[in-house]
Structure 1
Amino acid sequence: MNSQLDARTAVKETLPTVFGYIGIGLAFGVVSQSVGLDVILVMLMSAITYAGSAQFIMVSMLATHSPVISIMVAAFLVNARMMLMSATVAGYFRHDSMWHNILVGTLLTDESFALGMNKLNATDRKLNFHWFNTVNLIAYGTWIAASGVGALLGKLVAHPEKLGLDFALVAMFIGLLYLQVIADKTLSVNLQVVVIAVEAILIYVGLIFIPSNALLLVGTVLGCVIGVVIKHARN
């Protein structure tokens, strides 16, 4: 990454993540088609919901004929982390219009958030609308197209779980976490590894006491708090 924050630079820096969107989108399309959703419904879900993890959960719940209200609550809880991410990103757009802030926040994803946080290391902690909006639009378009193609190809794959396609989202998050650790020069690698280990323990223990849909939000908040405490204690 370089210090430029124009749209052309955003295109070049987003291209490596596009392959991740394509892989996850294809996997989602295949899985969705296997439970009876057609191409139009798959693409509409990707365009309106636009949340990989929530969409996988919605499809699995639809397959088990879960109540609509349960699906809505599950999708909200899984995506609740986006409120924390949007609040973090909003701090870099204080001088932009409300429309710009709404557009950036609406299309924000885990991947674009991670890309933005990595970009801060090369721009003296600065971001702008043109760069971030370009990143988001590329991701949005790629996700919708890839999920549609996946649904078309789904008829050729009778049991997608046997190919490990249901693990695609997890694999992508692991890759993003690794990139964040090696790119963030403001924190030591040891400190980041400690926080990751603490968060893993929290999630593992939390699975015993907290419903899995709520655990993501609770674990994120607790992990952030504990991370801040550990950071200040070590410094």
Structure 2
Amino acid sequence: MSGARAALLREWLANPWTRLGARDMLATGLGIAAWGMVTGVAMVKTGLPAPLAVFMSLVVYAGSAQLAVLPLLAAGAPLWVIWLTAACVNLRFVIFSSMWRSYFAHLPRWHRLWLGYFSGDVIFVAFLKRFPKAEPAPEQVPYFWGSAASNWLAWQVPSIAGIVLANAIPLSWGLGFAGVLALLGILLSMLGDRTSWLATLVACTAAIAAFALPLKLNILVAIVAAVAAGLGAEAAARALHRSRQRAQGPAA
């Protein structure tokens, strides 16, 4: 059995689509690594024991959610606030999974569950650029896993390094600022249409306007406002498209 698994692993590594997926992640790998290290350091500096921080990094595997709940944990916020914040931050994965279904619905459930765990923002964007047509193709699975393996390592290795070395890394290194720059770089690479730009601007405005709220609830307000703006913009665009089609119908 181990020999068969080794052969499958060699076949997967030799697949050109696997290597292409891994290469596509190199463009954002440095930003992901900086973000992961900042998150690892932040977990320990917030007061989490190193083993629990490693467990959180491996199981949660969602940098934005981890960073969002850390101030709440430090402030002793109610558990429902922590869970609600993490859920709202990760709402985008509901949208991602609905779109992944067009490509991976034919796979076994256990396989789709692993796809859900390894799914990420940059993987989603890179995948749709390579496969804009929402239908299954044999090269999609190796491409996804090549991207996922590269992205997972780019996150977990620096994150765990940050956890282990947190007390040895001085604040003068300015890792927090480096993490902000990494996040901005990743964010800008994902803003490809008017809807995403609108949602981003609304989120920034709402976060600043609600900054005085306790327990960092301005983050939750910003997420809700951004989701509402994005959904509203998408609905308006679909309505405009349908009205144009009806207007062009008789002329055709």
2: distance between equivalents of 1:30 and 1:125? 41
1: distance between equivalents of 2:110 and 2:161? 32
For the pair 1:142 / 2:154, whether they are aligned, the reply is yes
Q: Matched residues, percent identical?
A: 20
Gaps in structure 1 of 5+ consecutive residues: 183-191
1: distance between equivalents of 2:82 and 2:16? 39
1: distance between equivalents of 2:191 and 2:155? 25
Residue of structure 2 aligned with 1:33, choices 44, 48, 60? 44
* Cross-structure match for 1:133: 145
Gaps in structure 2 of 5+ consecutive residues: 1-14, 211-216, 245-252
TM-score, normalised by the number of residues in structure 1? 0.76
TM-score, normalised by the number of residues in structure 2? 0.72
Counting only pairs closer than 5 Å after superposition, residues 43-54 of structure 1 correspond to structure 2 as 43-54=54-65
* Cross-structure match for 1:199: 199
**1:120-163: CA deviations, max 9, x gaps?**
25x89766222112322332233222111012232134547x82
TM-aligned CA deviation for residue 16 of structure 1: 2.7
| Larger deviation, residues 123-132 vs 105-114 | 123-132
TM-aligned CA deviation for residue 195 of structure 1: 3.0
* Cross-structure match for 2:186: 176
TM-aligned CA deviation for residue 84 of structure 1: 0.9
Q: Secondary structure at the match of 2:165?
A: helix
Residue of structure 2 aligned with 1:60, choices 49, 62, 71? 71
TM-aligned CA deviation for residue 164 of structure 1: 5.5
Larger of the two Rg values belongs to structure:
2
TM-aligned CA deviation for residue 32 of structure 1: 1.7
Residue of structure 1 aligned with 2:237, choices 208, 213, 230? 230
Q: Which amino acid aligns with 1:179?
A: S
For the pair 1:156 / 2:168, whether they are aligned, the reply is yes
Residue of structure 2 aligned with 1:91, choices 102, 112, 117? 102
Give the conservation status (yes or no) of the 8 Å contact 1:199–1:223: yes
- Cα RMSD for the two superposed structures: 3.1
Counting only pairs closer than 5 Å after superposition, residues 87-126 of structure 1 correspond to structure 2 as 87-120=98-131
Q: Secondary structure at the match of 1:65?
A: coil
CA distance 1:214–1:137, change in 2 (3 Å): farther
2: distance between equivalents of 1:93 and 1:114? 16
Alignment size in residue pairs: 219
